[in-house]
Amino acid sequence: MTAEIQASGMVRQNDGWKMTMRIRFVHGKVRYLLDHSDEWDTQAWGTPLSAAHLGFAIAVFSDRLLHFCKMLGVRFNKEEQESVMAVFRYVGYLFGIPDDILYETRQDAKRIFKMGLLCEPPPDDDSAAVANELVRAVPRVTDVQTAKEAHDQMKLGYALTRILLGAKTAKDLQFPRYNGLLALFLFRGRIVLENMLKDAQFIKRKNFTELLGISSYDELIGISYKLPTHVKDAMSQDW
């Protein structure tokens, strides 16, 4: 896969554009399913997956992503940082986020993130269950081969997440205690060493390929546009 193909991924009809539109279709179907179920109280909670939620989300996926990557030892030059912000702004546009809550600059994204946090309720037991399951799912997503590898990867995920989220949030989410500072030191050392020993472009291509591997991309048919058929994933047909 060449850099040229990657760079044009968000051009209309290319895979990045298609994946983004698929996510918008999934959001729409989820809103429909929740609206026709007893699982969501619209009067109390508002519209699920609203434009406000999505505006907050892309601020997390852009500015906060760069912030956390820096903490982990990953370095982006100025052009790369601006590109990340521009890509997610365009994703927000494709999602239909209104201009008045769609960030224009990185400072806007920081402000939207802070405002979103003020609106967030404190984590409850459901939040803790979802957060813990996300960390525990990492070994399945990355397709590790042994139980020991899976356990070690999960421990690393918890340790790093505690550092990134902070001790209070980690406690609220009922995360187990692991030595986050040591894990962060070792992880950053590995990142620096890999960048010294390997070609940077090779690492970026490898990471991009791994992201495709855990996405909805199918090598035979490309982007799948199957949608959930039930509000609960366990009861939904394969999608």
Neighbours of 64 (CB within 10 A): 14
Q: Which of the two residues, 127 and 14, has the higher pLDDT score?
A: 127
Residue 70's pLDDT band, with cuts at 50, 70 and 90, is: confident
Neighbours of 113 (CB within 10 A): 20
Q: pLDDT tens digits for 196-207?
A: 666 555 555 555
Position 171 pLDDT exceeds 90: yes
Residue 191's pLDDT band, with cuts at 50, 70 and 90, is: low
Residue 28's pLDDT band, with cuts at 50, 70 and 90, is: very high
For residues 63 and 58, what is the distance between their CA atoms, to the nearest angstrom? 8
* Residue 196 pLDDT: 62
Q: Which of the two residues, 61 and 156, has the higher pLDDT score?
A: 61
Indicate the residue type of 101.
I
For residues 228 and 1, what is the distance between their CA atoms, to the nearest angstrom? 31
The partner residues of 223 in beta bridges, in order of sequence, read 217
- 17 in Cβ contact with 9 (< 8 Å): yes
Position 19 pLDDT exceeds 60: yes
Six-digit token pair at 21?
């539109």
Task: Calculate mean pLDDT across residues 199-228.
Answer: 60
Six-digit token pair at 92?
């927000």
Q: pLDDT tens digits for 99-142?
A: 999 999 999 999 999 999 998 888 999 999 999 999 888 888 77
> What does the longest C-alpha to C-alpha distance in the chain come to?
56
Strands (E), the chain: 217-218, 222-223
Residue 75's pLDDT band, with cuts at 50, 70 and 90, is: confident
Indicate the residue type of 222.
G
